[in-house]
Amino acid sequence: MVNNFLKNNLAILFGNVFFRIGGYICKFLMVYLLDNISYGILTVVSPFQNTLQILAAGGLPPTISKYISEYNATNNEEESYKIILVSFKISIVLGILFGLIMVFFVAPFLVKIYKNPILLVPLQCIGLIVPFSAVVGVFRGIFQGVYKMQYILLSRGVEQIIMILSSILLIIIGFSVVGALLGTVIGFFCSLISVIIILHRYFFEIYQGVFKLKLDFKEELKIAYKIISFSIPVILTAISEIGVYSVTTTIMPLFITISEIGYFGIAEPIARLPLMISNSLATTMLPVSSEMLATKNNDVLKKYIFNAFRYNLIVMVPICLFLIIFSKEVLLVMFFTKPNYSKGATVLSILTIGMFFYSIFTISSSMIQGSGKPKISMYLLIGAFIQILLLSFILIPFFGVNGGAIATALTTLTISLISLFYLNKLVSINFNISYYIKILFSGLITGVFLLILPSNFLGFCLGLICLFPSYILVLMLAKGFMVVDLEILLKFENKVPIKILFEFFKKIIIKGIK
């Protein structure tokens, strides 16, 4: 059971990293293939697509997973079949309903609000995505409930690969941003075909059980109410999180041009790249905090919390500093065929600061959820959504696209501080501040070194090469390492092929221990 649990978690962790990288590749390809205005349109419509997909899915995947696993554990398969059948009906109704609303009502309404008719067709394309994505979500909830994570990964792989290839082909043919969105429609359609085949081939008992059921309308309504009532917090949390990331881009068209918004859309995925580190730590910390609190092992939990934040800082500080200082050069190197994209350098610097704060929130929020307080994270995200909404209306008219980035940074700072305060109240953390100060001090010295370098391609290359060596050296001199770092390193002693490199790092850590 434990091995199966670890196997599934590793599969999901690997899949999340793999598909996140795939998502970044897709975004970067769109930047290369589309002009700045077209990419600006894609940036504006993306939050509406994500929000509509969540509303249409109705928070069903985690709900289905929860009930199927519970009913299967008690050998009550018929109840799980009922949940699946009603969930399918909900997803089909909501998917078609929200799709039609988007095409015929929301898209024309938004065009009038933004006073920009070129947004109409891209916004209407979103309505075509929703029915397919909603039903696919139900299938993935089933696979998660029966602990077959590999089929979730398979369906996501089909979706992402087909989406990227279709989008590229349609853009090259001449469909521009509409082609990118139609590629997403094709991706979800192919994913739907794949999950139907998987369910029929590998879960024929479920397939038969669901379609043999006969429920009266009253019973269906009762089950639907049960599903939706559980799903509401999931929906609110997911939409609020999207809001923190993307609400600024839905407000920008009211005050600035689509072309300027494109610079925000270009900078945002780069600024979010370091979050892969904090997301991995957060994924690990949620079950750990649950287990430690359940066994009342608070001392061990405090050590886990201390080291989670510490390792997050150790990695995030140098990466974020590099992105902030060499933001222009990063954009010039990544998009060397489109040098005008370097105008988004200031946005990238500000968003990187915001994502640094968000990395802290990600870890602390995960620990709060693991401590049995999931609603706290939901309330924090809803509060953050309201804050960023207000700040966007205040700052964007004065500072343009930079105002949206400032609103994001201020909001992530707020929720990171509040989440830390609440976590401390919940677990009574005794932070060893001196080690955090040493990490920040090492980052400051490294930052000064980076600032001395020339602001050009040569300086970028030198900074990239010297970033981690100089940072680790300063951290060693500041005595910023701990015994636990050495213990972790020693676990890889027989797995490192280059022994000289291992011994070198070993000596650095030993010298850097207080």
Task: With a cut of 60, say whether residue 164 has pLDDT above it.
Answer: yes
What is the average per-residue pLDDT within 296-308? 74
Do 155 and 163 meet the contact criterion of CB atoms below 8 Å apart?
Answer: no
- Cα dihedral sign for 166, 28, 38, 122? positive
More confident residue, 10 or 437: 437
Q: How far apart are CA 99 and CA 79, in angstroms?
A: 30
DSSP alpha helices (H): ranges in 429-514?
433-452, 457-477, 483-490, 499-511
Report the number of secondary-structure helices (H) and strands (E) in the chain: 21, 0
Do 344 and 263 meet the contact criterion of CB atoms below 8 Å apart?
Answer: yes
Q: How far apart are CA 110 and CA 279, in angstroms?
A: 33
- Please report which confidence band the pLDDT of residue 371 belongs to, taking 50, 70 and 90 as the band edges: low
Instruction: Round the average pLDDT of the chain to a whole number and report it.
Output: 84
pLDDT in tens, 37-58: 899 999 999 888 888 877 766 5
Do 293 and 429 meet the contact criterion of CB atoms below 8 Å apart?
Answer: no
- What global pTM score does this model have? 0.82
pLDDT in tens, 223-275: 888 888 777 777 777 777 777 778 899 999 999 999 899 899 889 888 988 88
- Distances in Å between the alpha carbon of 63 and those of 67, 86, 87, 221, 233? 6, 12, 9, 16, 11
Least confidently predicted of 65-79, 144-158, 199-213: 199-213
Angle of CA points 24, 29, 35, to nearest 5°: 125
- Model pLDDT, residue 496: 63
What is the average per-residue pLDDT within 65-74? 75
What are the residues whose beta carbons fall under 8 Å from the beta carbon of 111, sequence distance 6 or more? 117, 119, 120, 123
Task: With a cut of 60, say whether residue 475 has pLDDT above it.
Answer: yes
What are the residues whose beta carbons fall under 8 Å from the beta carbon of 228, sequence distance 6 or more? 58, 90
What are the residues whose beta carbons fall under 8 Å from the beta carbon of 383, sequence distance 6 or more? 415, 418
- Please report which confidence band the pLDDT of residue 69 belongs to, taking 50, 70 and 90 as the band edges: confident
- Model pLDDT, residue 51: 83
Q: In this structure, what are the phi and psi dihedrals at residue 481, rounded to the nearest 5 degrees?
A: -95, 165
The one-letter code for the residue type at 85 is L
Instruction: Using alpha carbons, select from 286, 281, 287 the residue that is nearest to residue 310.
Output: 281
Do 172 and 32 meet the contact criterion of CB atoms below 8 Å apart?
Answer: no
- Distances in Å between the alpha carbon of 124 and those of 103, 162, 163, 182, 252? 4, 21, 18, 10, 20
Residue 209 half-sphere exposure toward CB, CA atoms < 13 A: 15
- Model pLDDT, residue 6: 43
Do 288 and 6 meet the contact criterion of CB atoms below 8 Å apart?
Answer: no
Burial class (CB in 10 A: 0-12, 13-18, 19+), 489: middle
pLDDT in tens, 173-191: 999 999 999 999 999 999 9
- Distances in Å between the alpha carbon of 481 and those of 58, 79, 276, 315, 467? 46, 53, 23, 13, 18
What is the average per-residue pLDDT within 22-27? 83
- Please report which confidence band the pLDDT of residue 61 belongs to, taking 50, 70 and 90 as the band edges: confident
- Please report which confidence band the pLDDT of residue 305 belongs to, taking 50, 70 and 90 as the band edges: confident
Output b/e per residue, 94-123; b: 16+ Cβ within 10 A.
Answer: bbbebbebbbeebbeebbeebebeebeebb
What is the average per-residue pLDDT within 319-326? 94
Task: With a cut of 60, say whether residue 67 has pLDDT above it.
Answer: yes
